[in-house]
Amino acid sequence: MNFTHRVSIIGGGGNVGAAVAFALVVMQLPVEILLLGASEKSARAQALDIRDAAHFSTAHCRAGTSEEVGCSDIIVITAGARQRPGEPRSNLIDRNYVILDSIIKKIQPIKPTAIILMVTNPVDVLTSLAQKLSGLPKSQVIGSGTFLDSGRLRNYLSRKLNVNSNSIHASMLGEHGDTQFVGWSVASIAGSPLLKHPLMANVDLAEIENAIAHQAYEIIEAKGSTYFGVGYHVAALIKCILTDGHKIYPVCNYNAKYDTYLSVPAILGSDGATPINLNLSDEEEVKLERCAESVNHSLGQVNEFAVHVNEE
Ligand SMILES: NC(=O)C1=CN([C@@H]2O[C@H](COP(=O)(O)OP(=O)(O)OC[C@H]3O[C@@H](n4cnc5c(N)ncnc54)[C@H](O)[C@@H]3O)[C@@H](O)[C@H]2O)C=CC1
Ligand SMILES: CC(=O)C(=O)O
């Protein structure tokens, strides 16, 4: 069969990688999905299992080689360590930086028009590093960012307001980490500010923000990891890129004002992410600055760590 596009998933032997592949199969995209794992055995096993479902679909799934991955249209990276119960995402940086560095070296040469879609945590910091390590233009390297958190927020609001989540425009912003916040001032429903909705009158906004930012901790505490939610969200991003959808999604993209990668809405198409202007309130702008400081602080730690590793 001839496929229009090739999507590779590095970390495809694990839970999140497999969930992304499965969601692509369910979405019926005409794509060839290649899985690359730390060992060929795990990626091959996941590919065989997904292939058992894929015969209902227009997508095909198999294990790939690093050369094939490098010349894919979209390179999704889910490889790496995940949080233990109670552990913040930022704790994973040293372990996952080493893995990312080895992966980017292994898949060279990377197709110049490829889009790298980072999912491994801490995703905002690693997206910035993936851009530096790969040398691809900033617009072509993005992270899933707060897209998943925003889905969680819309789900919550949907239940509260009894309105389909697709009709509610509200996003978690900043970083896919503990400093993320709700962009209440730019949230809307039926063309009106969300906070003017009668059912939003007496809600505790800080409590909602905190609950959404900590939802992953709750799931990890109970079942060890999260993967279905992120799998579908990442597949939706892939669909938007492959179809040049130009949808506006809160993804991790390069922010010129803070000279770092942050999770804020951007237009997503076949050439990657195009930033848009956000009219946040002054208070939210301060929160965004705090997220930029948090991402830059982790980047500083990585640089020190990388020097240390190189000296050993
Ligand atoms: N951005 C987001 O919204 C989310 C991110 N995550 C993150 O995704 C990552 C993966 O999580 P899970 O899939 O649950 O973990 P997992 O342990 O099930 O899978 C990770 C996989 O990465 C593989 N791996 C390690 N080094 C590799 C290398 N050099 N090359 C290829 N594969 C390699 C491992 O063999 C393993 O199969 C974690 O960092 C987790 O925190 C998880 C959920 C949501
Ligand atoms: C694990 C993680 O980052 C999440 O589910 O949000």
Instruction: Convert the pLDDT of each residue in 48-84 to its tens digit.
Output: 999 999 999 999 999 999 999 999 999 999 999 999 9
Question: Would you say residue 60 lies in a domain?
Answer: yes
Question: Would you say residue 312 lies in a domain?
Answer: no
Strand 247-255 relative to strand 260-269, pairing: antiparallel
DSSP secondary structure code for residue 78 in this structure: -
Q: 26 φ, ψ to 5°?
A: -65, -35
Instruction: Examine the domain organization and report whether 126 and 173 are in the same domain.
Output: no
Mutate to test the pocket of ligand 2, among 218, 219, 232, 263 (most ligand atoms within 8 A of CB): 219
Does residue 226's CB lie within 6 angstroms of at least one atom of ligand 2? yes
CB neighbourhood size of 252 (10 A): 30
Instruction: Examine the domain organization and report whether 137 and 154 are in the same domain.
Output: no
Q: Which of 122, 143, 164 is the last residue of a domain?
A: 143
Atom of ligand 1 nearest to the CA of 144: 1
Q: Which of 124, 76, 51 minimizes the C-alpha distance to 234?
A: 76
Question: Would you say residue 70 lies in a domain?
Answer: yes
Domain housing 34: 5-143
Which CATH number fits the domain that encloses residue 75? Answer: 3.40.50.720
Instruction: Examine the domain organization and report whether 151 and 264 are in the same domain.
Output: yes
- From the CA of 119, how far away is ligand 2's center (Å)? 9
pLDDT > 90: what percent of the chain? Answer: 93
Task: Report the C-alpha gap between 143 and 78 in whole angstroms.
Answer: 11
Q: Which residues are catalytic?
A: 176
What's the pLDDT band for 310 if we cut at 50, 70, 90?
A: low
Instruction: Examine the domain organization and report whether 286 and 171 are in the same domain.
Output: yes
Ligand 1, atom 17, residue with closest C-alpha: 14
Asked whether the whole model's pTM tops 0.95, one would answer yes
Helix 123-134 to helix 93-106 angle (10° resolution) is 30
Ligand 1, atom 19, residue with closest C-alpha: 14
Q: Which of 171, 145, 147 minimizes the C-alpha distance to 157?
A: 171
Ligand 2, atom 2, residue with closest C-alpha: 216
Question: Would you say residue 63 lies in a domain?
Answer: yes
Q: Which of 143, 167, 185 is the last residue of a domain?
A: 143
Instruction: Examine the domain organization and report whether 46 and 155 are in the same domain.
Output: no
DSSP secondary structure code for residue 89 in this structure: G
Question: Would you say residue 13 lies in a domain?
Answer: yes
Hunting for tokens 């229009």 — which residue is that? Answer: 4
- From the CA of 77, how far away is ligand 1's center (Å)? 8
Residues annotated in the binding site for NAD(+), as ranges?
Answer: 11-17, 96, 119-121
- From the CA of 196, how far away is ligand 2's center (Å)? 30
Instruction: Examine the domain organization and report whether 223 and 112 are in the same domain.
Output: no
Mutate to test the pocket of ligand 2, among 223, 226, 232, 252 (most ligand atoms within 8 A of CB): 226
Instruction: Examine the domain organization and report whether 18 and 159 are in the same domain.
Output: no
pLDDT digits (tens, 9 = 90+) for 147-177: 999 999 999 999 999 999 999 999 999 999 9
Mutate to test the pocket of ligand 1, among 8, 10, 16 (most ligand atoms within 8 A of CB): 16
Question: Which long-range contacts does 241-246 make (Cβ < 8 Å, 24+ apart)?
Answer: 241/74, 241/115, 241/117, 241/268, 241/269, 241/270, 241/272, 242/4, 242/5, 242/7, 242/29, 242/31, 242/73, 242/74, 242/270, 244/269, 244/270, 245/269
Which CATH number fits the domain that encloses residue 215? Answer: 3.90.110.10
**ipTM strictly over 0.90?**
yes
The domain total for the chain is: 2
Question: Would you say residue 82 lies in a domain?
Answer: yes
Instruction: Examine the domain organization and report whether 154 and 282 are in the same domain.
Output: yes
Give the three-state DSSP class for 29.
Answer: coil
Give the number of the ligand closest to the Cα of residue 219: 2
Question: Would you say residue 112 lies in a domain?
Answer: yes
Instruction: Examine the domain organization and report whether 156 and 272 are in the same domain.
Output: yes
What's the pLDDT band for 118 if we cut at 50, 70, 90?
A: very high
Question: Would you say residue 229 lies in a domain?
Answer: yes
Task: Report the C-alpha gap between 21 and 168 in whole angstroms.
Answer: 27
Q: Does 24 have pLDDT greater than 90?
A: yes
Instruction: Examine the domain organization and report whether 108 and 153 are in the same domain.
Output: no
